Amino acid sequence: MIALSVLSIGLLAHGLLTVNSLTQSGLNRERRLALEGLRSQLEVMRSWDFSECFQAFDPSTSNDPPGAPGARFDVLGLEPTRPGDRVGSIVFPVGPDLLGSTDPVLREDLADPALGLPADLDGDGSIDNLPKNERYVRIPVILEAKWQGVRGEHSVRVATWLGETR
């Protein structure tokens, strides 16, 4: 009888373990899809004319070059956390324009360690508070995927730098 109980507990534990590892493998699969989605979005961004990269992928539509994809993107195989939303987001270091425009502008003087700032983005050797939208030689960027997965909401993010490649 004692042996049977132990066996039952053993089977139960095994059953839980199987469910857990199935869930875990589902989560691992989702993470792989998310990272693959971020990698391919980064390729899309790197294929753009670098001088228009910020304008094409920032959240503002008022500065868009023709065909600008914007700051949100889909990730193949993953569902957004809210219906009608998109899984992927692009985050640049933007802040208020001290010269007066209403759209947030690319800034190099922000205290944002996650993006590696402050840092000289226009290559003039100093860090100031002027907009760098029109003149930059490198930009830090964070790509994030946030999705509704097997265990609820999940997200992964990668931080990298974009620069002139030619």
Nearer to Ca ion, 138 or 154 (CB): 138
Nearer to Ca ion, 36 or 64 (CB): 64
Smallest gap from residue 112 Cβ to Ca ion (A)? 15
CA–CA distance, 153 with 94 (Å, rounded to integer): 26
Smallest gap from residue 103 Cβ to Ca ion (A)? 9
Smallest gap from residue 122 Cβ to Ca ion (A)? 4
The terminus-to-terminus CA distance of the chain in angstroms comes to 75
Angle among Cα 49, 55, 56 to the nearest 5 degrees reads: 65
Smallest gap from residue 164 Cβ to Ca ion (A)? 15
Nearer to Ca ion, 30 or 109 (CB): 109
Q: Which residues bind Ca ion (CB under 5 A)?
A: 55, 58, 60, 63-64, 120, 122, 124
Nearer to Ca ion, 55 or 89 (CB): 55
Query: In this structure, how many other beta carbons lie within 10 angstroms of the beta carbon of residue 75?
Result: 23
